Each structure stands twice: as C-alpha cells, then as structure tokens.
Amino acid sequence: MKFTKMHGIGNDYVYVNCFEEKIENPSEVAIKVSDRHFGIGSDGLVLIMPSQTEDFRMRMFNADGSEAEMCGNAIRCVGKYVYDNGLTDKDTISVETLAGTKILKMQIEEGKVKTVRVDMGEPILDSEKIPVTSNKEKFIDEDVEVDGENYKVTCVSMGNPHAVTYMNDIDHLKIEEIGPKFEHHGIFPKRTNTEFVEVLDRSTLKMRVWERGAGETLACGTGACAVLVASVLNGVSERKATVKLIGGDLLIEWNEQDNHVYMTGPATKVFDGEIKI
Ligand code: ZDR
C-alpha cells in the first residue's frame, strides 16, 4: 500500500489515495499503521476517495480502528494532498465527510498548499444530537462528576462529540489519567473527545486534548473549534481567537452572520512510503 505521512500541527495521520489503492478493512489497517513501534506511527488513518456528489470524500479512522465523523486537522491535509498531487487544480474544493460537506479554501505558495481555511459548518449544541445524556436541551457549564471530582463541562459537536472544561494550569494536568474517564463516562453514548482549556485572554485560548480512540494528541482541529464555541457561550472569549495547541496554533472564528465556524491552519507533508499490509 502506497501512503503519505502528513500532519496538521502535529496531529499526524497516514493518508491513502483511494483513487489508486483499494482498502478492504480500513479499521484493521488503521490499528496496524498507527502503531508507533510496530507500524508507521500515527494518530490514525485517512482515506482520500472519490465522491458521488462532491469534489472528494474523506474517511477517517482513529488509532483504535473506530471511524470518526470528522477530523479538522486531517481535512486540511486532504486539501493539500489533492492540490499538490494534481488531483485538482481548484483552490476551493468541497469534501464529503460523515459530518456533511465541508468547503476548503487553500492558500498556495510556490505551487504548493501552505495553509487551508475550512468552513466547518454550524456547531451542534442540542444535547441529544451531540450526543450527551441530559435533561437539559443544551449542555453549557454543567456539573459533571468524573473520578470523584466535579468539573464544569460544556458539550459541542462539530460533527464529532466534544466535552470542554476549563482549568488554571493545563501543563501539569495528568491527562492520561483523567482523559479516559471523560472518554468513557456514562453520559456520552458515543464516547467523547475532551478539551482541557486555559483562557490566556479573550482572544487566546490554550488547550490540551484527549481524543476519543487515540489518547492525547498534539492537536485537534474539531476540538479547537469546539473550544472557541464553548468559550463564546461561557462568555470568556471573542468570536475570533487563536487556539494554542501543543503542536501549534489554529485561528478559529465563529461567524455571527452565518453561524458557521471557520478554521485556518497549516497542512504539512512528512514523507511518502510503501508498506505491506
Ligand atoms: C480531533 C481530531 N483529531 C481533529 O483534528 O478534529 C479528530 C479526530 C477524531 C476524533 N478522535 C474522534 O472524533 O473520534
């Protein structure tokens, strides 16, 4: 199988061009290639595919083999892959995902995609649709007990589920202990991605993420969008802010006119390779 290793601010995936390759068991392949000791090493597997309705289609599998509805960092890399490899000559493309169609606008330098602005669509705030089990219609600043401690949690779906909680010192957080307890908490029927956020100022938010099916990653595109939305809802952020992640920064805007969230950030190729699967 030919593949390309790419990352969006350190959130790394193995990308496969399914115009040329056929993958029958993507969950198993995701588990195998993601292994950082016995495989290629990645946070998961991304398939770039033809679409019936849009320019391209993306499928994304976490390192544990589960399929996610959407991935913000991966979709920017898909934009870079299809443009840089000549699968399109357009700088604006539509990509079909399990979370609906996303529109990508690529910024090109010297013939290659440098950064991508993605229209991530409207955030989903209905508890039932996120999904989070609650008698409240929206889940904003609600008390949740995790491992005997109380956390204030705001839930947002960007096509995939996110739980956002605020604290003062995220650098010293033992995320590998608390992360799985959020991920598998009984109130999240589809498990959840969890963002731990430190508000630096009204336009700078710092976060760490525990990803469903992958553990701590260096960055999370949909998570950064969820954090911005949650922070506006909690009155701690402007509608446009820089979200600082371990692997780098993303610029996120929740547009007042169309209610869409826009994410801008880099997409980077690491290398091409071939592996026997
Ligand atoms: C968080 C994520 N890396 C991104 O960039 O949006 C997406 C990965 C998918 C996530 N682990 C999930 O929803 O299961």
Mean pLDDT of the chain: 98
What per-residue confidence (pLDDT) applies to 171? Answer: 97
Closest alpha carbon to 219 in 237, 245, 198, 195:
245
> Within this chain, do residues 83 and 164 fall inside the same structural domain, yes or no?
no
DSSP classification of residue 135:
S
With b for 16 or more beta-carbon neighbours within 10 A and e for fewer, the 210-232 pattern comes to bbbbbbbbbbbbbbbbbbbbbbb
Q: Is 160 helix (H, G, I), strand (E, B) or coil?
A: coil
Q: Could you tell me if 110 and 154 lie in one domain?
A: no
Let me know whether 142 and 115 are in one domain: no
Query: Is 23 in the same domain as 104?
Result: yes
State the pLDDT confidence band at 241, using cuts at 50, 70 and 90: very high
Residues 253 and 131 in one domain: yes
Residues forming a β-bridge with 209? 195, 217
Looking at the CA of residue 223, tell me the nearest atom of ligand 1.
Answer: 1
Residue in 9, 220, 225, 263 to alter for ligand 1 test, most ligand atoms within 8 A of Cβ: 220
Structure tokens at 38: 């016995």
Q: What is the pTM of this model?
A: 0.95
d(CA 70, ligand 1 centre) in Å: 7
Number of structural domains (the chain) is 2
Lining ligand 1 with CB less than 6 A are 11, 62, 68, 71-73, 160, 193, 211-214, 217, 220-223
Do 97 and 190 share a domain, yes or no?
A: no
Q: Which residues are catalytic?
A: 71, 220
**pLDDT value, residue 34:** 98
Mean pLDDT of 77-100: 98
| Helix axes of 221-233 and 72-84: crossing angle, nearest 10 degrees | 130
66 and 164 share one domain: no
Looking at ligand 1, which atom is closest to the CA of residue 74? 5
Ligand 1 mean position to 245 CA, how many Å? Answer: 14
Position 22 confidence tier, pLDDT thresholds 50, 70, 90: very high
| Residue 106: domain span | 2-119+265-274
What's the CATH number where 198 sits? 3.10.310.10
The pLDDT of 113-142, averaged and rounded, is 98
- Quick one: 134 and 36 in the same domain? no
pLDDT at 196: 98
Instruction: Convert the pLDDT of each residue in 37-85 to its tens digit.
Output: 999 999 999 999 999 999 999 999 999 999 999 999 999 999 999 999 9
- DSSP β-bridge partners for residue 157: 124, 161
Q: How confident is the model at residue 29 (pLDDT cuts 50, 70, 90)?
A: very high
Q: What is the whole-number distance in angstroms between the Cα of residue 222 and the centre of ligand 1?
A: 6
Are 40 and 160 members of one domain? no
In this structure, the answer to whether residues 203 and 242 fall within a common structural domain is yes
Ligand 1 mean position to 89 CA, how many Å?
A: 28
pLDDT in tens, 162-197: 999 999 999 999 999 999 999 999 999 999 999 999
One domain, residues 182 and 235: yes
Regarding whether 175 and 70 lie in a shared domain, the answer is no
